[in-house]
Amino acid sequence: MAFVELRKENRLGIVTINRPKALNALNTQVLAELEQTLREIAVDDKIGVIIITGAGEKAFVAGADIVEMQNKSAEAASDFARKGQNIFRLIQDLPQPTIAAVNGFALGGGCELAMACDLRLASENARFGQPEVNLGIIPGFGGTQRLPRLIGRARAMELILTGRTIKAEEALELGLVNKVVPSSELLNEAVELAKTILVKGPEAVRRAKSAVNKGLEIDTNTGCELEATLFGLCFAGKEQKEGMAAFLEKRTANFIQE
Ligand code: HXC
């Protein structure tokens, strides 16, 4: 693939958007390659955690490709938005947890890509924003929906209506990112975070992700019912037996049988 690279290191999958000349902007081809990569990951039980990042020092993803969007009809623009939304939905619905390692500009579709991930680490030089109003458009890859769910309606509204770009520190204050780290440490930190998750029970991790993400889209009672079902399923497998036995035997649980 030309623009999206998947590197597998043990049980970690690292996806890199690699189109640095256009600051990794998402055009049709990048999106298609991303979709293919995600579909491969979704069925790969050997991969336990995914990191998504951008190539180069400057950008995570600077948005959807403005050159490609410029002459779209209304219908084609809606189709493009739906296409991206569906692909970002695939990220949210991946069984494995996802970490966005935001290494620079995460604007428009780039911010939306980061928000589709479960966790976000930002380098000190990362910049976030939904600058679409500057272009006479609105966010189209889920930004109007995920940003208010992540940081609250008033703060999301401000960012979306002003198109203001914010620095990593402000993104941290707003709760848009989990942590800010020195640029040179970003990938290492993301890998360390991934490793912390990788030693847990893979089935439990998948169920926890699913309970949180699905629960946020339904009412609390239905979400708790889902939680109870998934909680019960944990007791039908090996992980709960190993985890609880290890605790009582005062040893570290070993969930991963190679
Ligand atoms: C296409 C882009 C691009 C983009 C940057 N480039 N962003 N090309 N689409 N989104 C290209 C530039 O045209 C330029 O190409 C090269 O990348 C380097 O960018 P520069 O602008 O020269 O860099 P710099 O001056 O450092 O400014 C960086 C920047 C700026 C602040 C990130 O590039 C910028 O504002 N980009 C647009 C950000 C944006 O508005 N994103 C939202 C897009 S709308 P050349 O050929 O000149 O070297 C969106 C909607 C999503 O994402 C939903 C769709 C349905």
pLDDT tens figures, 152-204:
999 999 999 999 999 999 999 999 999 999 999 999 999 999 999 999 999 99
Task: Specify whether the CB–CB gap between 174 and 151 falls below 8 A.
Answer: yes
- What's the number of domains the chain is made of? 2
Q: Are residues 226 and 173 in the same domain?
A: no
Active site residue 112: yes
Question: Looking at the chain, which runs of residues are DSSP E strands?
Answer: 4-9, 12-17, 49-54, 59-61, 98-102, 105-107, 119-123, 127-129, 166-167, 179-181
Q: Are residues 127 and 75 in the same domain?
A: yes
In this prediction, residue 79 carries a pLDDT of 98
Q: Residue type at 246?
A: A
Q: Are residues 194 and 227 in the same domain?
A: no
Q: Are residues 102 and 212 in the same domain?
A: no
Nearest CA to ligand 1 atom 37: 62
- pTM tops 0.80, yes or no: yes
Task: Output the CA 194–ligand 1 centroid distance in Å.
Answer: 30
Task: Output the CA 22–ligand 1 centroid distance in Å.
Answer: 7
Count helices and strands in the chain by DSSP H and E runs: 11, 10
- Does 254 map to a domain? no
Q: Distance (Å, rounded) from C-alpha 156 to C-alpha 176? A: 10
Active site residue 132: yes
* Residue 10: how many other CB atoms lie within 10 Å: 13
- Does 226 map to a domain? yes
Evaluate whether ipTM surpasses 0.90.
Answer: yes
Q: Are residues 224 and 147 in the same domain?
A: no
pLDDT tens figures, 59-83:
999 999 999 999 999 999 999 999 9
Residue to mutate (ligand 1; options 3, 23, 89, 102; most atoms within 8 A of CB): 23
pLDDT tens figures, 195-211:
999 999 999 999 999 99
- Which of 5, 9, 112, 258 is catalytic? The answer is 112
Q: Distance (Å, rounded) from C-alpha 123 to C-alpha 47? A: 25
Residue 180 structural domain: 4-198
Query: Which residues have any ligand 1 atom within 6 Å of their CB?
Result: 22-23, 25, 62-67, 80-81, 84, 105, 107-109, 131-132, 135, 139-141
Q: Is the pLDDT of residue 258 over 70?
A: no
Q: Is the pLDDT of residue 12 over 80?
A: yes
Q: Are residues 171 and 228 in the same domain?
A: no
Q: Are residues 38 and 147 in the same domain?
A: yes
Q: Are residues 37 and 126 in the same domain?
A: yes
